[in-house]
Amino acid sequence: MSGSMPVSEDLSREVRRIIAQTVGVPVGQVTMELRLDAGGLGIDSLGLIKLNVSIEERFNIAIPDSVADDPSQLKSVRDVVELVGACVARGGVS
Amino acid sequence: MSAAERMVPVEGRLSRGNVAEGVAHTQAERAAMERSREEQIEHERAQVAEHYQHEPAIFSMVLDRRLAYATGVFHDPSEDLDTAQNRKFARIAAKLAIKPGEKVLDVGCGWGSNLLYLAQHTEGVFHGITLSERQRGEAMSRARAWGVDDRVTIDVCHVEELAFAEESFDAILFSGSIVHMHNRAGIHGLVSRALKPGGRMLISDCYFPATERGDRESEATQYIFVEALGYCRLIGLWEELSMIEKAGLDILHVEDLTRHYALTLGKWIDNVRRNRQRIEALSPGFSRVLQSYMTVAKMSFARRTALEYMILATKGQPAVDVGRWEIP
């Protein structure tokens, strides 16, 4: 997921807020480099799917099938933030 | 818990009169095996119906025009849902080969997709059962609108409580429904008694591969089988076929539609995305449930950790000659 365009601080904060809400931790603990899996936030495969759905709903975007069907590609909070940034830049659900 | 430890023979757990056979595959199935038959029927009546009691208007935004909540058959992934579902209806009609006046039972008829297609395209007489009053209402409303209500009846009824005369049906259909029914051996016995000689049974539903593939104890499995859909019992195809044969029917034809279900689910998910706000307005939170469970299911079919099959069986001499079906 590296090499994506820079994302706004507002978007980054909102994505981290959704992740924090999903996991049930204070948003301050959701740092950009934190891992999503058991090595960090402990989000399992179902949790990743639910997180993606919450994010799609909040930003009115469609996460590409290549990621939605294999969310384990998302390793860190930064990966999620950059993915959302790219999807938002591409436009909403048609 | 290891896979071997989970594969405990059911017999040891059947202290309360449950007549299930085989081994437990999932947490949901083990829980069902702890219930008596009557408790399980009540469980299915309450929990399975809940999903289908949502507004038909929601499912109209997600599914095809006839509201088929099962896989379509695609010739090309770019085809739309209506094309794929119409092909599936036509395929079911060809397999069941319903003659004028023949009696057909659709168990878990949903909003009437197959039942009404068959009523419109044959001269059979149709009886559907569903656990959802809302589904019954929508299906009968469609039957009246399409002028086939004189040959269609639908009751809200659990299949194990259906009152039927022996040898009274020419065809019995389960499309995307038998997966919600725990007592499979009992149901195949019921089907065998209810069918006339020459009668056909068709099942279109999902199965586990015979060798364990994927994590059947995962939160995702529990979510889709219990939280989203109330109760699901996926078994191996070999187990279903074995129970059908032991009930006295002969297997005529089995085809794999796994890839087609992944495509169907992809189309449904896109429709959930497009209609998210309208769905949320009718039932807050339901678009998330739909998209989450459909994504789990799509991944499972894409990876073949779950498989979709259409099974055709006959009681005695077959009414159709499957050896003459052309494979283009």
Using CB atoms within 10 A of its CB, is residue B242 exposed (0-12), middle (13-18) or buried (19+)? middle
The answer on pLDDT for B274 being more than 90 is: yes
Provide the shortest C-alpha distance from residue B41 to chain A (in Å): 29
- Per-residue confidence at B23, pLDDT binned at 50, 70, 90? confident
A54/B266 Cβ within 8 A: no
Instruction: Specify the pLDDT at position B20.
Output: 46
The answer on pLDDT for B95 being more than 90 is: yes
| Nearest neighbour of A68 by CB, restricted to B218, B276, B295 | B295
Instruction: Specify the pLDDT at position B5.
Output: 40
Q: Which residues does A3 contact at the CB level (< 8 Å), separation at least 6? A: none
Percent of chain B with pLDDT over 90: 86
Which is higher by pLDDT, A65 or A75?
Answer: A75
Residue of B nearest to A50 (CA): B292
Instruction: Specify the pLDDT at position B202.
Output: 98
Average pLDDT over residues B174-182: 96
B273/A56 Cβ within 8 A: yes
Average pLDDT of the residues of chain A: 89
Average pLDDT of the residues of chain B: 92
- Per-residue confidence at B107, pLDDT binned at 50, 70, 90? very high
Nearest to B89 by CA among B65, B68, B106: B68
Please tell me the number of Cα atoms within 13 Å of B66 on its side-chain side.
Answer: 25
Per DSSP, the three-state class of A10 is helix
Mutation to test the A interface, candidates B217, B219, B259, B273, most A Cβ within 10 Å: B273
Q: Which residues does B67 contact at the CB level (< 8 Å), separation at least 6? A: B56, B59, B60, B110, B111, B112, B113, B138
The answer on pLDDT for A2 being more than 60 is: no
Instruction: Specify the pLDDT at position B85.
Output: 98
- Per-residue confidence at B21, pLDDT binned at 50, 70, 90? low
Provide the shortest C-alpha distance from residue B3 to chain A (in Å): 20
- Per-residue confidence at B19, pLDDT binned at 50, 70, 90? very low
The answer on pLDDT for B2 being more than 50 is: no
- ipTM here: 0.89
- B45-80 in b/e burial notation, b at 16+ Cβ within 10 A? bebbbebbebebebbebbbbebbbbbbbbbeeeebe
Average pLDDT over residues B81-96: 98
Token reading at B107: 């168990």
The beta strands (E) that lie in chain B are given as 103-107, 125-130, 152-156, 169-175, 195-207, 250-256, 307-314
Q: pLDDT per residue over A50-60, tens digit each?
A: 999 999 999 99
Angstrom distance (rounded) from CA B27 to CA B167 = 36
Chains A, B: CB contacts under 8 A, how many? 46
Token reading at A92: 């909403």
Which is higher by pLDDT, B95 or A67?
Answer: B95
- Per-residue confidence at A94, pLDDT binned at 50, 70, 90? low
- Per-residue confidence at B217, pLDDT binned at 50, 70, 90? confident
Average pLDDT over residues B294-300: 95
